Structure formats: structure tokens, C-alpha cells
Amino acid sequence: MTDLRIGHGYDVHRLVEGRSLIIGGVNIPSPVGLLGHSDADVLTHAVMDAVVGALGLGDIGKHFPDTDPRFKGANSLVLAAHVFDLMADLGYCIGNIDATVIAQAPKLAPYIAQMRENLARTFCTDIERVNIKATTEEKLGFTGAKEGIASHAVCLLVKN
Ligand code: MG
């Protein structure tokens, strides 16, 4: 039987002035950015949590604690490369990733292709296996009020 593992990740970061807006490793022009210990890349964190979850290894807070000065301002794609190593060491590769970013603003469509490329490269898979969607929540809730951005991700891992 094929050894498959499914994983889910969810993340939220607060929007504040004076921070860069980095989503899926893309620095997006915006008057506000996401607050966090690392670069606060909400999409990459959700994808990392999905992969870590599929491996049964807890969550990314356990692997990259926000109390650790090594991760202050960290490029989340570099952290994701560590998650790839964990996955590869256990003999898995990406079957596919499907993720949704929930943001009222800015419009993310122009940046989706680059986000897919960044995540596919980091997880050593084909861009066709990394799907990213963006949606608003119709001005409802904290994402609608532009107080923060959320992201969901699911992944399927396949044993080599
Ligand atoms: Mg996070």
C-alpha cells in the first residue's frame, strides 16, 4: 500500500505599520506588514505546519520557538528548508500542497506565481504540485478589518 500522509496548517499574523509584507517569500508593496518574531510569512508558516503535522512531528512552534534569538527576523523560506530536510530524512516527498491566503488587501493575484515558485523550490517539488489561492472574507472579521492576514494549508506527503 502506498504510504500517504495528510497534514493541515493554519496561521495568523497581525498587520502593523513599519513591517515588510512577506507572503510566500514575496515582498509585496504595502503600507503595512505582518508582525512576528521571524519575517511573519503567514503562508509559508501554514505550509510548514501542514508538512510538520503530516510527519507527526507536532508544530513549527516546537521546532522554531519564537523565544529563540536565532529565528528573530528569520527568512521563513530558510526555516521551511529545514522542514523539507525533516521530511526528506523520513523518506517523504510532496504529493501536493494546497493553500489559501485570507487577506482583504492588498490584491495578491499578481504575486501568486512567484509564491508557488518559491514554495515549490523550497520543498523540491514541481510548481504544478503547489496550489495557492487568495480570498477576502468580504470585509468580515479581523481579516476583513485589515487587522491581520490568515492562511490555511493542506498537504499530502508520499513515501519515496
Ligand atoms: Mg506564524
pLDDT in tens, 61-98: 999 988 888 888 899 999 999 999 999 999 999 999 99
Question: Are β-strands 148-159 and 92-102 bridged in parallel, bridged antiparallel, or unpaired?
Answer: antiparallel
Protein residues near ligand 1, an ion, with CB under 5 A: 11, 45
Question: Could you tell me the distance, in angstroms and rounded to a whole number, from the CA of residue 153 to the centre of ligand 1?
Answer: 13
User: Element (H or E) spanning 51, and its range?
Assistant: helix 42-54
Question: Could you tell me the distance, in angstroms and rounded to a whole number, from the CA of residue 77 to the centre of ligand 1?
Answer: 12
State if pTM tops 0.85: yes
Whole-number Å distance between alpha carbons of 62 and 64: 6
Cell of 155: 498537504
Residues of the chain with pLDDT under 70: none
Residue 43 CB-density burial (10 A; 0-12 exposed, 13-18 middle, 19+ buried): buried
Determine the pLDDT at residue 134.
98
Determine the pLDDT at residue 62.
93
